[in-house]
Amino acid sequence: MKIEYSEEDLKRFWKKVNKHDNCWNWIAGKDKDGYGLFKLNGKSIRSHRFSYYVYNNFIDQSLMVLHICDNPSCVNPDHLKQGTAQDNITDMDNKNRRNMKSGARKTSHLSEDDIINMRQMCLNKDYSYSQIGKLYNISITEVSRIARGIRWKDVKGVLSNRKNINVKLKLTYQDAMSIRKMHSDGIPQWKLCKIFNITSSHISGIINNKKWKVKE
């Protein structure tokens, strides 16, 4: 199968990717299963399939693109391979992913880097659990369990003993600083709107220092 794309399409694509030493995580829109979605030629394509095609210049439409890393948001071509639906089922069985408890399934799209970052965010108290949950597409309860080591026990890192998971009702100066930092880290404006429950014009005003101006 041939996929038509331009250099501008490639630039758009990589702007939506946060590269780590291990997984390269898609930070834009995702489907309900945690797979990245990339708009190309008027249609949406899963981001990991596009990455596979770009690096291999070929993709067999009859086969799936599987994640070796088990991280659906990853687009690192070294973590991708093609296989059949049965290959995918066999891999899930070998890794006991089909028999996960519901809580584990709800966070299976996260990488170890995501878990470490979430725990640090909870420890620093920069964001509410609600904001972190929206950022990583998980529930407030799952954020709390990850922060306290109930989930992802095998991932090392400093744990938080925070139990207060109340949602912030009003935007604060610290929220504005967080919005600027998250935007500089590559979080798109539409996701910031969802996280902080404010309009895109408000987000834009904060980013451009027209609202909640940086204190001298």
Determine the pLDDT at residue 99.
44
CA distances from 126 to 150, 178, 180 (A): 21, 7, 12
Determine the pLDDT at residue 168.
42
DSSP string, 32-86: TTS-BEEEETTEEEEHHHHHHHHHHS---TTSEEEESS--TTB--GGGEEEE-HH
The reply to whether the predicted model has a pTM over 0.75 is no
Determine the pLDDT at residue 74.
93
Q: Are 69 and 20 in contact (CB under 8 A)?
A: no
For 178-216, letters b (16+ CB in 10 Å) and e give bbbebbeeebbbebbbebbebeeebbebbbeeebbeeee
The C-alpha R_g of the chain, in whole angstroms, comes to 19
Determine the pLDDT at residue 72.
87
pLDDT tens track for 44-56: 899 999 999 999 9
The CATH class given to the 7-99 domain equals alpha beta
Determine the pLDDT at residue 189.
82
Between strands 24-26 and 17-19, the pairing is antiparallel
What gap in Å lies between CA 83 and CA 71, rounded to an integer?
A: 16
Determine the pLDDT at residue 95.
56
- The DSSP 8-state label assigned to residue 123 in this structure reads H
Determine the pLDDT at residue 162.
55
Task: Work out the end-to-end distance of the chain between its first and last CA atoms, rounded to an integer number of angstroms.
Answer: 56
Ranges of residues in the chain whose predicted pLDDT is under 50: 99-105, 164-169, 216
Determine the pLDDT at residue 160.
66
Determine the pLDDT at residue 77.
93
For the record, the structure tokens of 113 come out as 């880097």
Please report, for the chain, the start and end positions of each structural domain, with discontinuous segments joined by +.
7-99, 106-207
